[in-house]
Amino acid sequence: MKKEEYIKAVLEQVRCSAVHEPLKKELEAHIDDQAEAFIAVGLPEENAEEEAVKTMGDPIETGVGLDAAHRPRVPGTVFAAAAVLMLLGAVMRYMLAPYFEFVEGGIGDIAALPLGIGAAVLFYFLDYTAFARFPKTAYVAFVILMGVGMFGVINITDILNRGDGTVIQITGLRETARQIAFYGSMLLVPFMCGFAFSMRGKGFGGFVLTCLALVVPPAFIALYAPCVSALVLSGIYALAVMTIAVKNGFFKVRKRAAHLFMYIPALLAAAGVTALKIWRDSRNEHMGVGWEQDYVRGIISGAKLFGRGNVESEFLTNANDAHLLTAVIAQCGLAAGALTALAVTALPIAMLIMSGRVQNSFGRLTAFSIGIVFMLQAVWFLSANIGVTTALESYVTAPFMSGGGFNAIACGILVGIFASVYRRKDLMPERKLDTGRPAKKVT
């Protein structure tokens, strides 16, 4: 049997077409190497290929084995965890509705469920490697889309406020601007991964350029919104992506120097923001700054292990969204709150663990980064619900569990992209994503 015939017979058994090309190259290389070995020991060249093909074994058996090894994997754990969070959030808001003044009701929940599920399924079947094919153009285009959407909403608000000389409180539009900044920064992460991946093999200058490109645009959008959580979290997203990229040797830089360049400014920025907040709170103490956090801590301290606590909590802000966990603790007890917190963190923990099983570096970078997005969102949500941070000065939601279409769609898209990566965790060799600059590890 000739080489081409053998390879065709093998690939006919492999159902996943995504791996046909890389498998073909691997089979050709193996047969050619074996043929060269036969020629080296004196076998005539015209017979060497045929003998090399014989050493490969039966093509049907070989193809069946490769089909089993390269079958797409469905991340059932991630899909199940996301579905549980969506249903749990809807049930909680329905049960707690009589006790709190909710912004959104049951109709919003019914609409959000299919939106989130549909987004996850759609992006599961799309090829995540699209983020690595035109990375810079896609990154810039998405940043522009975020900026245009947010600036448009804010300008509409300003026009309405100045239209007849009176001031109109357009809280809904302002909230939309903050949502665009918050969820846009989450959805920007796969584009960040593609941008960083496209800069493989660059030196320190390319590394610095990538850092600035990933940090500055989303920070500017978050400041203009304004949305404190988007500002902080987008910076951490970029830091996480670049840390993983440096660890995987994407850039020709000394890792210690790269880490110092990233983490010293990040620590200084964190210290500066913290100091500014402390100074501002001290100056505005007479205006009741910090009442929200004190109120949340008071609810928790007065809560029972099971059942409704002794502290009145009907004035809790955003009980269906930012402070959903606090509302659960107030009405159902600390045990129910602990189970809710565990459910919120289970999804990102599972994603981070599963990310380590992805074979190629771009898929691993994308999967880890999305897992970090959900983990940071969960941590930010939990901190607001125990009175550590404020929800009034930022935007706070729990992955899938909080209400609203923005949350359902954004989380659904990211879960779908993660699932697309995991689906092909054994199917996408690194050379399939090669941009012409192979990654070089630098010690």
**Residue 115 predicted with pLDDT over 50:** yes
Q: What integer pLDDT is reported at residue 101 of this predicted model? A: 64
Give the pLDDT of residue 160. Answer: 58
Considering the domain architecture, whether residues 49 and 188 belong to the same structural domain is answered as no
65 and 92 fall within a common domain: no
Shared domain check, 114 and 43:
no
pLDDT reported for residue 112: 75
Range of the domain at 49: 3-69
Nearest residue to 347 (alpha-carbon basis) of 86, 116, 81, 80: 81
Judge whether residue 107 has pLDDT over 60.
no
**What mean pLDDT do residues 65-94 have?**
82
| pLDDT at 170 > cutoff 70 | no
Does residue 109 sit in the same domain as residue 39?
no
Look at residue 293 and tell me if it is in a domain: yes
SS3 content of the chain, % helix, strand, coil (to 5): 70, 0, 30
CA 188 to chain centroid? 9
What's the pLDDT tens digit per position in 309-319?
877 766 777 77
**Residue 188 token pair:** 């920007």
Give mean pLDDT, residues 51-61: 84
Q: Kindly state the average pLDDT of the residues 380-392.
A: 85
Residues 29 and 113 in one domain: no
Residue 10 has a pLDDT of 84
What is the token pair recorded at 282?
């001290």
Longest dimension (CA), the chain: 96
Q: Which two tokens stand for residue 275?
A: 């100091």
**Which region among 15-29, 215-229, 405-419 has the lowest average model confidence (pLDDT)?**
15-29
Both 113 and 242 in one domain: the answer is yes
63 and 200 inside one domain: no
Q: What is the pTM of this model?
A: 0.81
153 domain residue, yes or no:
no
Q: DSSP letter string over 43-100? A: --HHHHHHHHHHHT--HHHHHHHHHHHTPPPP-HHHHHHHHHHHHHHHHHHHHHGGGS
In a domain, 287, yes or no: yes
Are the CB atoms for 168 and 395 separated by under 8 Å?
Answer: no
31 and 143 in a common domain: no
Band (pLDDT 50/70/90 cuts) for residue 417 is: very high
Has residue 161 been placed in a domain?
no
Q: How confident is the model at residue 54 (pLDDT cuts 50, 70, 90)?
A: confident
pLDDT above 70 for 159: no
Domain stop point among 20, 42, 69: 69
- 13, 105: one domain: no
**What confidence tens digit (pLDDT) does each residue in 349-384 have?**
999 999 988 888 899 999 999 999 999 999 999 998
Q: Does the residue 157 lie in any domain?
A: no
Which residue among 50, 69, 88 closes a domain?
69
d(CA 6, CA 28) in angstroms, rounded, equals 10
Lowest model confidence (mean pLDDT) among 52-56, 161-165, 203-207, 340-344: 161-165
Q: Are residues 140 and 55 in the same domain?
A: no
pLDDT digits (tens, 9 = 90+) for 255-291: 999 999 999 998 998 888 778 777 766 665 554 557 7
Percentage of the chain modeled with pLDDT above 70:
84
Task: Give the per-residue pLDDT at 110.
Answer: 66
Report if residue 119 sits inside a domain: yes
pLDDT value at residue 162: 53
Q: What is the count of structural domains for the chain?
A: 2
Q: Residue 139: enclosing H or E segment and its boundaries?
A: helix 135-162
Q: Which of 438, 270, 414, 279 is nearest to 355 (CA)?
A: 414
Average pLDDT over all residues of the chain: 82
167 lies in some domain: no
First CA to last CA distance, the chain: 46
Residues of the chain above pLDDT 90, percent: 32
Same domain for 31 and 133, yes or no, is no
What is the arithmetic mean of pLDDT over 313-333? 82
Where is the domain boundary, 54, 69, 84? 69
65 shares its domain with 188? no
Q: Give the pLDDT confidence score for residue 109 in this predicted structure.
A: 61
Structural domain includes residue 439: no
